[in-house]
């Protein structure tokens, strides 16, 4: 697997600090035109400075720093195990109506997902999962906010692994492709997908189309405001789920028993 530098220099292709600052500035402007809570969040993001970070899940600069740290923390763990599989999972019960994100309890969802991982058949595997969010649109009609999982699972991409994931996480009925699996090839870029910092309006067109198309489009201002208010309720890192690992200061420590993951 490619080596991630231990310095503060980001790997090739990683978002720059200037890009993160520009996105945050735009979001601050959007939030200032929103409700009282959104305006308070705008003030919090505006005050974020080096040495006094806001640690908000809605702050692009803080999320960028977290993603860089996560890359470096995961590197020795990924290198210590011979095989890893990437799984993208759009599971049931994580679709919410537009306007309803304020009622979603992220911590409760994480506990539910963690309990499923505790009970699944691959109990000795390390799992690192990030929760991604998109606003799904079909034929110009809003489907809703879709929370979905992007996971690194210890082990080779086998039928057993795929079936275990599918049995643990039933598919979302509205998802065209609820599961996607890839054997990792050692590139850094897939690791960055674990905890995304950019969220999209995913528009799917099926009418008069022989092959349905899905396009990523920027969120509209009211949609972005709703999402940011939701993200701002939680600290950076709140969308990350770990199994077989625990935090020890600024490091990640393996806690699972180390049995052969190919068995």
- What is the overall mean pLDDT for the chain? 90
Q: CA-CA distance, 254 to 246, in Å (whole number)?
A: 7
Question: Tens digit of pLDDT for each residue in 179-219?
Answer: 999 998 765 667 888 999 999 999 988 765 566 788 999 99
Q: CA-CA distance, 85 to 153, in Å (whole number)?
A: 5
**Rounded to the nearest 5 degrees, what angle is found at the Cα of 205, between the Cα atoms of 200 and 207?**
165
For 182, the token pair is 């890839």
Q: What is the CA radius of gyration of the chain?
A: 19
For 105, the token pair is 């309890």
DSSP state of 120: S
Q: Name the band, by pLDDT with cuts 50, 70 and 90, for residue 7.
A: very low
Q: Name the band, by pLDDT with cuts 50, 70 and 90, for residue 249.
A: confident
Is the C-alpha dihedral spanning 151, 156, 159, 160 positive or negative?
negative
pLDDT of residue 174: 92
pLDDT of residue 263: 40
SS3 category, 219: coil
Record the pTM. 0.89
């Amino acid at each position: 697997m490619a080596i991630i530098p231990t310095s503060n220099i980001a790997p090739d292709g990683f978002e720059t600090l200037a890009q993160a600052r520009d996105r945050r500035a735009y979001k601050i402007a959007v939030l200032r035109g929103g409700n009282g809570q959104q305006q308070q969040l705008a003030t919090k993001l505006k005050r974020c400075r080096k040495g006094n970070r806001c640690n908000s899940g809605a702050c692009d600069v803080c999320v960028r720093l977290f993603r860089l740290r996560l890359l470096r923390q995961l590197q020795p763990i990924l290198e210590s195990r011979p095989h890893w599989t990437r799984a993208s999972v759009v599971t049931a019960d994580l679709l919410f109506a537009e306007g309803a994100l304020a009622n979603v309890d992220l911590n409760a969802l994480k506990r539910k997902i963690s309990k499923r991982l505790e009970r699944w058949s691959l109990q000795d595997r390390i799992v690192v999962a990030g929760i991604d969010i998109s606003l799904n649109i079909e034929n110009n009609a809003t489907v809703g906010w879709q929370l979905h999982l992007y996971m690194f699972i210890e082990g080779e991409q086998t039928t057993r692994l795929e079936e275990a994931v599918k049995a643990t996480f039933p598919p979302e009925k509205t998802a065209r492709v609820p599961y996607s699996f890839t054997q990792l090839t050692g590139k850094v870029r897939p690791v960055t997908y674990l905890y995304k910092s950019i969220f999209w309006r995913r528009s799917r067109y099926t009418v008069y189309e022989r092959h349905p198309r899905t396009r990523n489009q920027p969120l509209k201002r009211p949609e972005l405001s709703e999402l940011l208010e939701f993200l701002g309720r939680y600290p950076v890192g709140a969308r990350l789920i770990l199994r077989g690992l625990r935090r020890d200061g600024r490091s990640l420590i393996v806690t699972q028993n180390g049995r052969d993951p190919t068995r």
